[in-house]
A and B are shown apart, each in its own frame.
Chain A
């Protein structure tokens, strides 16, 4: 039997507001427990919520970025359930009238083709606190600092057909929210969290299979691994005559498996109803137009522009637009040096290699975009050759100078293009290498091309890398051939 996988994602994005969605408490990460949980966040008797305008603006910006309908009216509802990290006994969320309606996201697959994934809706809600299970005499400790942090829950349609598509979708969402600056997208700190709905069905069947919801899938890598495990589990189960049950499963990254969360005696009944403490949020066209006019260039547009007006390959355009930081870095390098292809090569080559080696992100690159742009300029205007450029890059990386020019000067890497100087170096190499000259002379003419490499190497060595390699090549050939 041929199986097809059907995947939908629910991505929770913490919005980068300063204060909480319904209170004036700080959202800063990492504070002492409960020092950022104000009366409203604690759900003290008598407190009331007031909606944060920035949370609304950020949700709408996301909606506009995914070409979604933004309904004029959205409404907050209460989702009622008891849990110690949920102070009021309900989560204020949006069930019936979310702030962002249907939209779509373009994802890029490994073969550089693209696919559209539909977004069902996105809604605003408040985050819960955290339960800490360290041993407090067999008790659990509750920290409510995170309670009330604004979340945008982005719900996709079940449009993904394999784990790679799901990961690409998650990356696309990550890239959109970070481009917009509405989230730091830090998955390790929980700024972006993902639940995955997975089902399988025989290829060609239209009806969806029974799905499992996998919680706690909080990295791009885990998405792929969790789906891979879950798909295999479901297929095996069905092929062995069993049935998939609709349930919530937890991904355990350590054991690389999903497992059923302890089944409750009965299904939850959240008793959603409109929150009487909040009024309908009404957004007019002028507000939407204003936010639209402030949108930055988004990844998909950037990618297209990199290909069409900068002439980059589809691959380069995708890699360089994947994150806002990468794109900004590349564009600055390009602005300074004026050559998109060189800029792309350097950013993806020397720079990315060094970043990977030292385990740094591009935001923390010791070589700034401006420095790299200047360095490339010096190659383009023949001040240095490619080999010297790598030395300059290393020096910049190690903080041995503040600009390419300074390092070129200090290390004397300026390319030697004076024919006389090069000729005298060639003469000396020829004089010191009688055996190689003899070999060259006695060779078949078609093999001499290869042999010239030795002489080039010697001359470059003599010039400490600064001689212009093209010139060296040309002059050497002339001089050696003159000896024939």
Chain B
């Protein structure tokens, strides 16, 4: 499955990565080679094989519905780039 620049552009947009034109060309080359390598998968017959998401056949454990966390806002916001009145600040969101 050939990779085109439009694919890289679209992925960069979805992943919110700014990519310059030069970089885009470089990524097309690198990613194409990676995908060529990945395409070996297509030669394998996997008819009837169930996908495996986790290496162990374990099931989800459930947590008791208890409040175990306390307010740590100050500690958590110490590593935040922009806060005011306890809120994280971002450029204005237009709905």
Residue positions of A touching B, CB distance < 8 A: 17-19, 23-26, 32-39, 42, 44, 50-56, 75, 80, 82, 84, 131-133, 136, 138-144, 250, 261-262, 266, 269, 271, 274, 276, 278-282
Contact residues in B for A37 (Cβ distance below 8 Å): 73, 76
Given contacts A24-B69, A34-B73, A35-B71, A53 and B90 within 8 Å (CB-CB): no
Other A-B pairs beyond A33-B86, A51-B62, 4, CB < 8 Å: A25-B69, A34-B88, A39-B69, A39-B76
Contact residues in B for A56 (Cβ distance below 8 Å): 62
Contact residues in A for B82 (Cβ distance below 8 Å): 139
Query: A33 contacts B59, CB within 8 Å?
Result: no
Residue of B16, B58, B61, B86 with most partner-chain A CB within 10 A: B86
Interface string of B72-94 (1 = CB under 8 A from A): 11001100001011111111111
Query: B93 contacts A50, CB within 8 Å?
Result: no
Query: B89 contacts A19, CB within 8 Å?
Result: no
Query: B63 contacts A84, CB within 8 Å?
Result: no
Q: Shortest beta-carbon distance, A85 to chain B, in Å? A: 8
B53 at the interface (CB under 8 A from A): yes
Query: A34 contacts B16, CB within 8 Å?
Result: no
In angstroms, Cα B82 to Cα A141, docked, is: 10
Query: B67 contacts A141, CB within 8 Å?
Result: no
Contact residues in A for B10 (Cβ distance below 8 Å): 266
In angstroms, Cα B62 to Cα A280, docked, is: 11
In angstroms, Cα B95 to Cα A55, docked, is: 30
How many B residues touch A, CB cutoff 8 Å?
Answer: 36
B43 at the interface (CB under 8 A from A): no
Contact residues in B for A142 (Cβ distance below 8 Å): 87-90
Q: Shortest beta-carbon distance, B2 to chain A, in Å? A: 19
Residue on A nearest B56 in the bound complex, by CB: A279
Query: A51 contacts B63, CB within 8 Å?
Result: yes
Provide 26 A-B residue pairs closer than 8 Å at the C-beta atoms, listed in order of the A residue. Answer: A17-B65, A24-B63, A24-B68, A25-B67, A26-B69, A33-B87, A34-B73, A34-B86, A35-B86, A37-B76, A39-B76, A53-B63, A53-B64, A131-B93, A132-B87, A140-B90, A140-B92, A143-B87, A262-B94, A266-B10, A269-B14, A271-B14, A278-B60, A279-B54, A279-B58, A281-B59
Query: B90 contacts A54, CB within 8 Å?
Result: no
Query: B59 contacts A144, CB within 8 Å?
Result: no
Contact residues in B for A34 (Cβ distance below 8 Å): 73, 76-77, 86-88
In angstroms, Cα B69 to Cα A25, docked, is: 5
